Amino acid sequence: MLRPANFFNARLNWEAARRRGVWTVKGRLAHKRLSGISALILALMSQNFQPGDFLIFQLESGYALLRLLGIHEDGEKKTWHVAAYGDLFPDVEFAESAITNPSALTVASPHIALTTRAFESTQTARLGNVPLAESELTPFTEWQRNPDRQVSDRSIRLILGLR
């Protein structure tokens, strides 16, 4: 699987990759070479997200973090539950360093329920997995108990007011 740092470096060096015409995706494809956008889409789709995953996404001026709290399945529909952090990072390495001490991160929103469409509208990459603390799961548990569950079809960027 494409490591997050390599994934984002590839995105940042899009022009160089486009000029070369190929990217190498390691892991499932065992070094098979694909054209630029095909490799990017395959890398995004091949990720198997699990509760406790730290997910990183790129903004215009840096990177931000989400934490996957759980995936609620109702028939064929999935609802993605994430916590959003207010910390922004200049590069992936700073974010990787920050997730080694999750309690030091600033929680901007402890629980956001998203449709699959909304979740997939922001390209994320798995940065690492740290078991969730009971306190981190409390908002998700409260959502499950609430008969008036709210699920957003807006992207995480719109919800958080980020560009």
Question: What is the b/e burial string over 17-29, where b = at least 16 CB atoms within 10 angstroms of the residue's CB?
Answer: beeeeebebeeeb
Query: For residue 85, which phi and psi values (nearest 5 degrees)?
Result: -105, 145
Dihedral angle, C-alpha 141, 45, 129, 163, nearest 10 °: -80
> What distance in Å separates the CA atoms of residue 44 and residue 123, rounded to the nearest whole number?
7
Angle at 159 between CA 156 and CA 163, to 5 degrees: 70
Please give the structure tokens belonging to residue 89: 């990072």
> What distance in Å separates the CA atoms of residue 109 and residue 152, rounded to the nearest whole number?
14
The proportion of the chain whose per-residue pLDDT surpasses 90, expressed as a percent, equals 52
Which pLDDT value is given to residue 21? 40
- The yes-or-no verdict on residue 6 having pLDDT over 90 is no
- The yes-or-no verdict on residue 123 having pLDDT over 50 is yes
Cβ burial of 45 (10 Å; 0-12, 13-18, 19+) is exposed
- Residue 99: which pLDDT band, with cuts at 50, 70 and 90? very high
> pLDDT: is 29 or 133 the higher one?
133
- The yes-or-no verdict on residue 43 having pLDDT over 50 is yes
| CB distance 83 to 115 below 8 Å | no
pTM: 0.71
